[in-house]
Structure 1
């Protein structure tokens, strides 16, 4: 989520949605006991914006720092292990090949955008461009075949890019969701949180038939209560969505659309992920969150 997208979202909160959004019921609290601890301190809010994170399954947490144009790698104890330049880095995901993929050019000031790839096992990771020429992207998901899916906050259509770097234009045209932000694949379904919509919807897109996309839930009471949904992840038996404006993590049941607030009081959360092979951190009851405040925090449930 960038400054340009935030302005667009403010406008959209007043203009997008309609009667269905106005009748939506906002989520209550889940009732689970949660604790928030700081894994990495932030600096000046917005100026120290950390945008996204992902675990490589080899003991490193990778974090994109959009303002400082770098990707950082952290050990389980919070020690900085690696840092290298990526222009305007956004979403980070682990591919089926064990490589890490990161969007670049996410900042609105960047003329180019696309995806880079780096080896998380390298002593000094060196990112290489997978493809470019795609400004205005944000979220990223990767399926088991290595296809890339990219969201665009101020455009219609979730982009699908094949492993060879070519675009699947037909799939993209059918996945005509406007203003998508976070992306997460669960089984044969792609879930997208939508930033540019005052009703704060979460959408399900079948990978095999993207034209049959449906709205799972709408998380705002009215169009004036837009939560500015950012990234999302699969946790336990449901989705957890980061709500930038309201400072919440919201749990969503993808089968029923029921939702509840798992934790609130966060400082502009931008991404949420489950720890994987990261020291003694427990992926069954922990979540890690990046914030536009610059912090990386750990949420413990139960």
Structure 2
């Protein structure tokens, strides 16, 4: 699944340029990586309780960007290093215990079969005409030297991923929309034909619905897709920069134990969204660096992990509600 370095380098540069330009970031962000003080209250919206922020893994440079993260069934943390074409396994002390070669990896998700599923080809090259392969690989996360096997291929720019209760994998393909992949690796073309949403990015399944972010939408939309009626889509939130009304560039999504959705934004905010619309939307933490993904921490109802464009990982401890 490796391509020649020249082609890969070009895609890496294009993908980073898209994310950097969209977020308006520059060299100054390298200095921001050390701004977060352990345990300090983060910035918040008027109706959102303050969260505490703790460093878990240090950041370094944008070329070490942590594109996504997730846990396997044994509670080991896996982080996608999109520009280094690998996913890394960390133990509870933050030590790297395995590295698996995956081309431009995105979402990392534990499957119902105990395998770890990783999207590949998460590159801006997938938005352009031409030969570009993207899809999902899977491997045994317990192996000393995991070997990825292709699960599905032929996608455009696979980015986010989430399993539903029936074992289907919903893939947020930025180039094509939400793609439903059955447990045998075949694509449910009929279902997926109703979900050709532009610029999808993060995705999560909660109850009977799929929620996905439209990164490229002008108002930062988060859309609900009923699993049993995929054409009956509704917008549950517009993630914008305060009263300005400009998109906050919503990226990855996670579902909290409190029933809320948590959205990592490229503008550096972790945003809480009530999918039912009752509690509205507020900022949980303003991290001062683009955050790329968010995941719940197994066994800890109040904690989330977020990854950053500079390669770091932070723990967000939510205030009691």
Please report the TM-score for the alignment, with normalisation by the length of structure 1: 0.86
1:268 to 274, 286, 290: 290
Aligned to 1:150: 171
Matches of 2:122 and 2:154 in 1, distance apart? 12
| SS of structure 1 residue aligned to 2:133 | coil
CA deviations 1:115-135 (Å, max 9, x no partner) are: 000111212211111121213
CA deviations 1:77-123 (Å, max 9, x no partner) are: 21111112111100111111111100011123472111000111212
2:194 to 162, 171, 174: 174
Aligned to 1:227: 248
* Range 267-276 or range 119-128, more displaced: 119-128
Aligned ranges 1:115-134 → 2 under 5 Å: 115-134=136-155
Aligned to 2:72: 56
1:242 to 264, 268, 290: 264
Does the aligned pair in 1 maintain the 2:19–2:266 contact within 8 Å? no
| SS of structure 2 residue aligned to 1:145 | coil
Does the aligned pair in 1 maintain the 2:201–2:215 contact within 8 Å? yes
- 1:237 to partner: Cα distance: 2.0
* Range 68-77 or range 140-149, more displaced: 140-149
From the superposition, tell whether residues 74 and 4 of structure 1 become closer, same or farther in structure 2 (CA, over 3 Å): same
Matches of 1:197 and 1:65 in 2, distance apart? 26
Does the aligned pair in 1 maintain the 2:160–2:173 contact within 8 Å? yes
Unmatched segments (≥5 aa) in structure 1: 11-26, 278-282
| SS of structure 2 residue aligned to 1:158 | strand
2:109 to 93, 96, 106: 93
Aligned to 1:34: 51
- 1:31 to partner: Cα distance: 3.8
Does the aligned pair in 1 maintain the 2:70–2:109 contact within 8 Å? yes
Aligned to 1:20: none
Matches of 2:306 and 2:120 in 1, distance apart? 20
Aligned to 2:8: none
Does the aligned pair in 2 maintain the 1:60–1:73 contact within 8 Å? yes
- 1:161 to partner: Cα distance: 1.5
Unmatched segments (≥5 aa) in structure 2: 1-13, 24-43, 127-131
Aligned ranges 1:165-204 → 2 under 5 Å: 165-204=185-224
Matches of 2:245 and 2:51 in 1, distance apart? 28
Matches of 2:260 and 2:149 in 1, distance apart? 34
Does the aligned pair in 1 maintain the 2:98–2:145 contact within 8 Å? yes
Matches of 1:72 and 1:108 in 2, distance apart? 22
Alignment root-mean-square deviation, CA:
2.2
- 1:7 to partner: Cα distance: 8.3
- 1:189 to partner: Cα distance: 0.5
* Range 29-38 or range 187-196, more displaced: 29-38
Higher relative contact order (CA 8 A, sep 6+): 1
| SS of structure 1 residue aligned to 2:192 | helix
CA deviations 1:189-213 (Å, max 9, x no partner) are: 1011110111011110011110001
Counting matched residue pairs gives: 278
